């Protein structure tokens, strides 16, 4: 199984680049599944139902969210109706939507896509380790599902790496999101789980993590009120990882970074 995961899509620049590239990537890489993090897609803050449908039309199979899940209020009424939209599994009780999706893939394969949100330097959330344990008890790898992707949406690299080692051998891939910077640690963990601390963002890197650099630098350097941050609108780099998953074991056989367009050094699987 070939799985493409793309990091946080930021604003129009990121959206347009992802939608333009996905059909060709799906064909050229013979992808079985595409999962993207879409929590910054709507002008950098949240996502709308309309944007969800645009991503699905471009070939996306599931969309994960994060700490900006509800910045677009209309999503709260929509989330329960979309089985492919994945908010953090360990969100507090009563949060709309679902913390995982089971995707029916060709040749009878099933992919479990799940997201947990970190607790270090983030808003309050329930225990991500306990939440994922409970879910895996219901949907074990090579039991109910053929492959498992975990998006760890967290600020601290230590928490992401801890989750990777905690799940090593129990899921196909653990990929971090949220910090918008692609890390250089793509690897297979000792028991066969693919891991990268952060997939990076799909957005303009002539920016401060996707936001216009002038306003962001003024805000950081002066600590005075500013205009609302808005996404940078230059050419985007699409960042993510390609994970190949062994059909027999459900564990990863390889993980390779992908970076296309924009300012960053290019990397194509």
Task: Parse the chain into domains and list their residue ranges.
Answer: 2-260
Please say if the pLDDT value at position 221 is more than 90. yes
Rg (CA), the chain: 17
Distance CA 70, CA 73 (A): 6
Please state which of the ranges 33-42, 204-213, 215-224 shows the lowest mean pLDDT: 215-224
At residue 188 the predicted structure's pLDDT band, cuts being 50, 70 and 90, is very high
**Which one, of 5, 4, 17, lies nearest residue 210 by Cα?**
17
What pLDDT score was predicted for residue 47?
98
Per-residue pLDDT averaged across 87-104, rounded?
96
Distance CA 173, CA 254 (A): 10
Tell me how crowded residue 90 is: count the other CB atoms within 10 A of its CB: 22
At residue 151 the predicted structure's pLDDT band, cuts being 50, 70 and 90, is very high
Q: Which position has the higher pLDDT, 226 or 194? A: 194
What pLDDT score was predicted for residue 223?
82
| Active-site annotation holds for 68 | yes
CATH architecture of the domain covering 2-260: 4-Layer Sandwich (3.60)
**Which one, of 203, 187, 162, 170, lies nearest residue 7 by Cα?**
203
At residue 124 the predicted structure's pLDDT band, cuts being 50, 70 and 90, is confident
What pLDDT score was predicted for residue 45?
96
At residue 182 the predicted structure's pLDDT band, cuts being 50, 70 and 90, is very high
Please say if the pLDDT value at position 224 is more than 90. no
What pLDDT score was predicted for residue 107?
84
Helix 11-28 vs helix 49-57: angle between axes, to the nearest 10 degrees?
30
Please say if the pLDDT value at position 53 is more than 90. yes
At residue 241 the predicted structure's pLDDT band, cuts being 50, 70 and 90, is very high
What pLDDT score was predicted for residue 256?
98
What pLDDT score was predicted for residue 101?
98
Per-residue pLDDT averaged across 92-109, rounded?
93
- For the entire predicted model, the pTM comes to 0.96
Per-residue pLDDT averaged across 229-245, rounded?
97
**Over the chain, what is the mean pLDDT?**
96
Catalytic residue selected from 43, 68, 153, 165: 68
């Amino acid at each position: 199984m070939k799985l493409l995961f793309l990091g946080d899509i930021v604003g129009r620049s990121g959206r347009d680049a992802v939608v333009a590239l996905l059909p060709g990537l799906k064909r050229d890489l013979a992808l079985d599944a595409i999962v993207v993090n879409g929590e910054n897609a709507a002008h950098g803050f949240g996502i709308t139902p309309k944007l969800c449908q645009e991503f699905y039309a471009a070939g996306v199979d599931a969309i994960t969210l994060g700490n900006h899940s509800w910045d677009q209020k209309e999503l709260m009424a929509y989330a329960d109706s979309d089985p492919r939209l994945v908010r953090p599994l360990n969100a507090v009780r009563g949060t709309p939507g679902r913390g995982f999706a089971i995707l029916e893939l060709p040749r009878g394969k099933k992919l479990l896509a799940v997201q947990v949100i970190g607790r270090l330097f983030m808003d309050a959330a329930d225990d991500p380790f306990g939440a994922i344990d409970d879910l895996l008890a219901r949907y074990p790898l090579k039991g109910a599902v053929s492959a498992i992707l975990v998006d760890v949406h967290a600020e601290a690299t230590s928490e992401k790496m801890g989750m990777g080692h905690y799940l090593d051998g129990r899921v196909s891939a653990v990929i971090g999101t949220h910090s918008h910077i692609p890390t250089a640690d793509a690897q297979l963990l000792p028991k066969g789980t693919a891991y990268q601390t952060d997939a990076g963002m799909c957005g303009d890197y002539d920016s401060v993590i996707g936001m216009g650099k002038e306003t962001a630098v003024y805000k950081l350097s002066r600590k005075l009120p500013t205009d609302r941050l808005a996404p940078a609108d230059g050419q985007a780099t699409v960042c993510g990882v390609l994970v190949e998953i062994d059909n027999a074991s459900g564990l990863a056989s390889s993980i390779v970074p992908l970076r296309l367009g924009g300012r960053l050094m290019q990397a194509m699987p």
